[in-house]
Structure 1
C-alpha cells in the first residue's frame, strides 16, 4: 500500500518538476519579438493597403465586365468581347498611348565629348534601378529609347551591349518616356526623380540625367515584339 502511495507521489512530483522546467525554459528563451520601429510598420501597412485597394479595383472592374456580359444580348456580345480585348491589350502595353508624363534625357557628360572620349554604354543595372524607381513613383507606362517596358521586358547586357527587349539601345543621348495617370502624378514624378540620387548615379557613370517639366500630351509607343505565353493554352471550340 505504502509502495503504491510512494509511486503516485513520485509521478506527481515528476510531472510538477517537468512543468516547472518547461516554464523556466520559456522565461529564459522568450519568443523573438518584432523590433521594427513604428514608422517601418506603418510603411509596410501602407504598402499592404495599396495592394488591397488595387485588388479591390481589379475585382470591381472584372465584376463590371461580367455584368455587361450577363446583361448584353447575343447580338451585342461580340461588341463587349471586342472592348474587353482592347482593354487587355492596353493593359499589356500592346497599344500606343497618349497622356500626361515626363521625359528623361540621358546625355553623355559634356566634358567627355569635348575631350574626345569614347562614349560607353549605360549600365543595365543602373537602368533597371531607374525603371523600378519610376514604377514605384507612380509611372503607368515606360519606354526606353522607343522600347516599351512590359511585364516580360528584360534589360540586360548582351555581348557588351545594353539591350531592352533584346534590342540594343542607341548610344547616348537617348530618351526615356514616362507616362502617368494625371498631370498631378507627373509633377510628383518630376519632383521624386529630382530629389532622388539617380542624377548623381548617372553623373558618376559620366552621364547627365535631365528631367524635363511634365507635359500633358506624351505619346508612348506600343510593345513591338510578340508576347510569350508559357502557361495559357487556347481551348478549342466545343471543349
Structure 2
C-alpha cells in the first residue's frame, strides 16, 4: 500500500470521526428545544426531500454528461464541452436566457395615495423575502427592474435606498421577471404566490403586488456588471 493511499485513508477516517463526534454531541446536548408543531416539521421535511431530489437529479445529469464525454470521439467531446460552458455561462448570468416563467409587478396602492398615505419604495427585507420564496419554489433566474440576480448579487439598504447589484431601486413601480425550468413549474409558482400572504405583506407597506399568469416565453438579459472572482483560484495542473 503506497503512502498516497495511506494518506487518503487517514484523511477520510479523520473526517468521518469528526462527523460522528459532532453528531453524537448534537444528540446528547441539543442547543435549543424545537417547539414547532408537527405540521411545521413535516413541511420543512418535505422541502428538504425536494431539495435532496433536485440534487440527485443534478448528479444524474452530470453523470450522464461524463458518460457521453467518455463515449464520444475528440470532436464530439469538444462540442459537449462547449455546450456545457454555454450552459454554465447562462447559469451564472453571463448570457441572456429565455424560457417559461412569469412576471410580477409592484405598484403603489392607488386608493392609499388618494387618502394621502406616503408611499415608500420597497424595503430590502420584503424584497429579499420575496426573492427567497421564488427560489424556494423552483425559480431559476430572476430580474428586478432590469437587474439580473446572480450568485454574487446583493439586495441591501445603502443610505436609506434599496439597491440591487448596488443599483438604486428607488421607484415604487417595480417589474420582476422570473424564469423556471418548465411551464408546469411556472404555473406552480404562480399558484403558490397567488395563494400566499405576500400580497397582504406588500399592502401593509402601501404597495400592490400583481402576479401575472405563467407565460411560455420570457427573456432575461445577461448580468450588466463584473462578476466577483475573489475566491476563485486558478488550477494550473496538467499544463
TM over 0.5: yes
Q: Which of the pair has more CA radius of gyration?
A: 1
Structure 1 residues 70, 167: closer, same or farther in 2, change over 3 A? same
Is 218-227 or 70-79 further displaced after alignment?
70-79
Q: Secondary structure at the match of 1:191?
A: helix
Shift in Å, 1:153: 1.3
TM-score (normalised: structure 1): 0.76
SS of the counterpart of 2:111?
helix
Q: Match for residue 203 of structure 1? A: 203
Q: Is the 8 A contact 1:202 1:208 kept in 2?
A: yes
- Distance in 2, matches of 1:227 and 1:111, equals 41
Return the offset for 1:166.
0.9
Q: Note the alpha carbon deviations across 1:113-138, whole angstroms, 9 max, x for none.
A: 44676642210100001111111222
Give the distance between the partners of 1:37 and 1:116, measured in 2 at CA: 42
Q: What do the CA deviations read for 1:97-151 (whole angstroms, capped 9, x no partner)?
A: 2222111111112135446766422101000011111112221211111111222
Root-mean-square deviation (CA, aligned residues, Å) is 2.7
Whether 2:64 is the aligned partner of 1:64: answer yes
* Equivalent residue runs for 1:113-152 within 5 Å: 113-114=113-114, 119-152=119-152
Change (3 A) 1:73 1:174: same
Secondary structure of the residue aligned to 2:200 is: helix
Q: CA deviation at 1:176?
A: 0.7
Q: 2 CA distance for matches of 1:75 and 1:31?
A: 57
Whether 2:107 is the aligned partner of 1:111: answer no
Equivalent residue, structure 2, for 1:43: 43
Provide the secondary structure at the position in 1 that maps to 2:181: coil
User: Secondary structure in 2 aligned to 1:171?
Assistant: coil
- What TM-score, normalized by structure 2, do the two folds share? 0.76
Distance in 2 of aligned mates of 1:115 and 1:36: 41
* Equivalence for 2:192: 192
Q: 1:197 to 1:67 in 2, by over 3 A?
A: same
Residue 97 of structure 2 corresponds to which residue in structure 1?
A: 97
User: In 1, distance between residues paired with 2:181 and 2:59?
Assistant: 20
How big is the shift at 1:165?
1.0
Q: Deviations over 1:17-41 (max 9, x none)?
A: xxxxxxxxxxxxx998987655445
What secondary structure, in the 3-state scheme, does the structure 2 residue paired with 1:140 have?
A: strand
The CA distance in 1 between the partners of 2:197 and 2:40, in whole Å, is: 21
